[in-house]
Structure 1
Amino acid sequence: MINRASVYNIVQFTKEVHDFVKVRHRNLVSLIGYCDDGEHLALIYEFVANGDLNDQLSGKFGNVLSWESRLKIIIGVAQGLEYLHSELRILHRYVKPTNILLDENFEAKLADFGLSRSSPTNPDTEASNKIYVKPGRDPYLDDQYFNSNWLTQTSDIYSFGIVMLEMITNQPVVDNNRESPHISKWVDLKVAKGDTLEIVDPRLNNDFEPNSVRKAMDIACSCAARAHNRPSMSQVVIELNECLALEKARSIGRTGEITQTQ
């Protein structure tokens, strides 16, 4: 549901809805249409069965995502962002676990993209690259935004890196009881001490290929680095697929060992 008062231009909004209905990508939630009855304005999206990444990481449904499953999910997110950046030339602006939905096959689908720019932060401008941030900085936004008050593709990439660190460690983005409260700084400290594998989600029980995890951690840290050092989403997709290949090779090798034993 959308607050009509927040839509800066209903004609422009309607045009954008028609444009986005045509957008189809396996890693983007499909917009079916909208409803405008005069008093209420609603966007209608496809149903996605398995909730969001935040719910899955929290254990809300009683299951623990394997390392391979987490990699497949984050690759889907990367592919969705790559498409938004390169094909549609728009920013997502709100990359966080609650906006990463999972279908019946646990394939990632990014939600709340594109049309989010139609909710104005400045009613005097259209499709502003500024966003409204509630008091207290959003931990998924990089400091560059607060310095420039302007979002870029690197802002999405930073947010993606923070989501990756959450996925790897299952730690909160901000925890004032840590030596460094924000997850990106905390991970940097741990990696510098050589503690990379010690901060991996303990619920995985070390059931993963170590080099796959280390490489994923490196990718996440590079995404959360200073803006000019961040990789493109296309590069991230390539490197994450290498992480997945490492993990799959481990699984295949383990299956072979079991077969030989039998």
Structure 2
Amino acid sequence: MALVYEYMSGGSLRTYLTAGKDSNVRVLSWEERLRILLEAAQGLLYLHTECNPPIIHRDVKTANILLNHMLEAKIADFGLSKAFQDNRSHIPTIAGTQGYVDPEYYSSFKLTEKSDVYSFGVVLLEMVTSKHPIIVGGREKIHLTQWVKQNLAIGSNMDDVVDSRLFGRYDVNSAWKVVELAMSCCSETSAQRPLMSHLVSELKECLDLVLGTSSVMDTVRSSSSRRIAFEVAKNGESLLPDGPSIR
């Protein structure tokens, strides 16, 4: 028996989030991150609603989100996947990866599509912060959801939570929205978590926010460039002969 996958030359999403300064892997832009999240969410929605019978992935994590050369995302590794009927399946042993497993699963062994939603919530936070689901500090370990909660509870702004490698180049409103979605996905009880259909809709809105902001900024830059060119032509000399370059 063999399982054949399409070759995904971009590797796993986790590789991009853990790459150091000396790595050849570039840092994903905020827009790219949102596109990848949306595509991954659409993949999970397909498993939950379009497959017959529906399928629970059971091991949703950034290492199982693969990218092609265009950075298009696909959900991979269905080794732990389980078809379910009536939105519920009983699994006698814990399956999944530490940090991503639904906390309800440990006590009830009842597996639902909301188990994938919890794991995807952790993926959302990973994409925002580029941190591992289990953060190790000295002898202590803390889950990423708790780390984000603690930072926001003490009044930290989004810059203290978002991946520092972005150097502030992200849309704040969409970042807050993604964090809020992640926290709702990671609710302790499955009844409080959203469906994948809701996540797909909300992530589309996040991407629209970014694309709208980019469009506005492009218009502003274009307008500024035209104004500067006009002033230069009118005065017959450069306005900024010794000043910093304009980008």
Give the TM interval when normalised to the shorter protein: 0.7 to 0.9
Q: Which residue of 2 aligns with 1:58?
A: 18
Which structure's CA Rg is the greater one? 2
Is 1:93–2:54 an aligned residue pair?
no
1:187-226 map, 5 Å: 187-197=148-158, 198-226=160-188
What is the identity percentage for the equivalent residue pairs of Structure 1 and Structure 2? 39
TM-score, normalized by length of structure 1?
A: 0.75
CA 1:95–1:131 in 2, change beyond 3 Å: closer, same or farther? Answer: farther
Q: Which residue of 2 aligns with 1:116?
A: 80
* Unmatched 5+ stretches in structure 1: 1-40, 119-126
Q: Distance in 1 between matches of 2:24 and 2:161?
A: 23
Is 1:181–2:146 an aligned residue pair?
no
1:115-194 map, 5 Å: 116-117=80-81, 129-133=91-95, 138-177=98-137, 181-194=142-155
Aligned letter for 1:184? Answer: T
Aligned letter for 1:42? Answer: A
Q: Distance in 1 between matches of 2:49 and 2:109?
A: 23
Deviation at 1:78, TM superposition (A): 0.5
Which 4+ residue blocks in structure 1 deviate beyond 3 angstroms? 115-118, 127-134
- Residues 194-245 of structure 1: CA deviation (Å, up to 9, x unaligned): 3240110001111111111001110111111122110000001111111111
Q: Distance in 1 between matches of 2:111 and 2:183?
A: 20
Work out whether residues 130 and 151 of structure 1, in 8 Å CA contact, stay in contact via their aligned partners in 2: no
Q: Distance in 2 between matches of 1:64 and 1:250?
A: 20
Q: Distance in 2 between matches of 1:221 and 1:160?
A: 11
Q: Distance in 2 between matches of 1:139 and 1:156?
A: 13
SS of 1:217 mapped into structure 2: helix
TM-score, normalized by length of structure 2?
A: 0.79
SS of 2:2 mapped into structure 1: strand
SS of 1:48 mapped into structure 2: coil
Work out whether residues 130 and 150 of structure 1, in 8 Å CA contact, stay in contact via their aligned partners in 2: no
CA 1:199–1:43 in 2, change beyond 3 Å: closer, same or farther? Answer: same
Work out whether residues 180 and 186 of structure 1, in 8 Å CA contact, stay in contact via their aligned partners in 2: no
Q: Distance in 2 between matches of 1:204 and 1:246?
A: 18
Aligned letter for 1:216? Answer: V
Q: Distance in 1 between matches of 2:177 and 2:109?
A: 32
Q: Distance in 1 between matches of 2:39 and 2:137?
A: 32
SS of 1:44 mapped into structure 2: coil
